[in-house]
Amino acid sequence: QQQVKQSPQSLIVQKGGISIINCAYENTAFDYFPWYQQFPGKGPALLIAIRPDVSEKKEGRFTISFNKSAKQFSLHIMDSQPGDSATYFCASTPAGTASKLTFGTGTRLQVTL
């Protein structure tokens, strides 16, 4: 059973545009929401993460928006660049579960010139 639903499956954005990827979770016990970035042929790497005590976290051009009541969170990439072209995974985990992450199905982002 998929506990984290991610959309869209793929996304094409022009250089300089805003990329938005959405995730919804079901388990209200989840309390940690990271985003991982994966380039072709590489393993995923942590990009940015948020805990539910804040509604937004920004690091450079990357922002996580979190809506606890709707059980949704999203990744916004401002001023998207060709170097941002990668697959992005949202994930979540309940507290006290030895860091077990439940991943979304991934979004393949292509930033065109």
Closest by Cα among 66, 72, 30 to 48: 66
Closest by Cα among 35, 31, 33 to 20: 35
Using alpha carbons, list the distances in angstroms from residue 21 to 29, 89, 96: 22, 9, 27
Shortest Å distance, C-beta 27 to another protein: 14
What is the size of the binding site for another protein (CB under 8 A)? 22
84 backbone dihedrals φ, ψ, rounded to 5°: -85, -10
Q: Is 66 in the site for another protein (CB under 8 A)?
A: no
By beta-carbon proximity to another protein, the closer residue of 42 and 68 is 42
Residue from 29, 45, 54, 78 binding another protein (CB under 8 A): 45
By beta-carbon proximity to another protein, the closer residue of 69 and 100 is 100
Q: Is 92 in the site for another protein (CB under 8 A)?
A: no
